[in-house]
Chain A
């Protein structure tokens, strides 16, 4: 393992939004604008880093059989802290994201990283993994938000970019726009990956992560049966 790989893989190779397809609930719900995506991404990143480090430190204390409830308690606690602190000191942002903050608890990225990485590695690595995955998640949310804000309201970061003559696609800021944007972005990323693989002369296999059967959470049973 080396630090750069762990840090960078969250940005593209194992990007939580575009490659692992984890945490889609907040991804689809809050990305009506770049700013919302940034706020949600940073809040999730904070929770992810804290929970990764905490889970990693507690990994010998938490019994394997009750690790999922233990992880959830850790994650929910940090989410509540974020919610309270944002409410107190970032009132405006909290007003636009308020509804979605509690949803971070059920964001699979965080539980997924706790289960797949933090619970098996030392705190330093877990911290790096949290930073990388968190930034990758934030990046994904911002890209989605940028596309939807530009096409739907003709602005970026709240600043009008397209003139009044350009059509506004209302559907892009509504929930279906989230699915459409994500679908096109995923198709684009797959096409790029395929091209790269062919140019490099590698055999191209479609991303296995997109098959739900390979999701960590669907294989809890297998993991339980692994010897300690």
Chain B
């Protein structure tokens, strides 16, 4: 049976240089990437994303994202929504600072800052689990591979999306527009082998999987459904 890619969650950290919370956002993100959820997450290099990094922007369009900001200006969230699409969850480090806690270290985090980073990392992991659960309901999610602690404890490079290569897509036409849908060919291959028979079943199955890897605007589902089913039959050579 054809395989579909696992759902990965992109974590975008603000890394704000001026404030301790910026460093905390970064450390919490790294903890999730390297230790808490290494198989389910990847990160996006925010400066590259802002500078026009095509792969990073495409990654954030395809995969669900969690932004981690150090202050109420929400730069990571604003940037992600400006260049890629709505984020799945947004976390502000300041919501995890307890009353009376003062953060002072922005270079080498002290005990207080590390405790806040741990709280933020736990929240990111909780959000990752929820997103993966929701998105994976429609696909066969393969067993996680074991990763040794040596591999994750202090990676010199991490799961960042830069250099990850172009994400496969097909273009479909509907309503006079050309629309790019990620992993559509892989979805077609998957559905063609999974036993769905009637057009309604096939349409539901495909649409559900398309939603896993793409954003479909509200109110557009029926239009997408018709165009995708037509494309599916053409792909299989049926030409319906």
Q: Do A and B come from one complex?
A: no
Chain B contact residues, CB within 8 Å of chain A: none
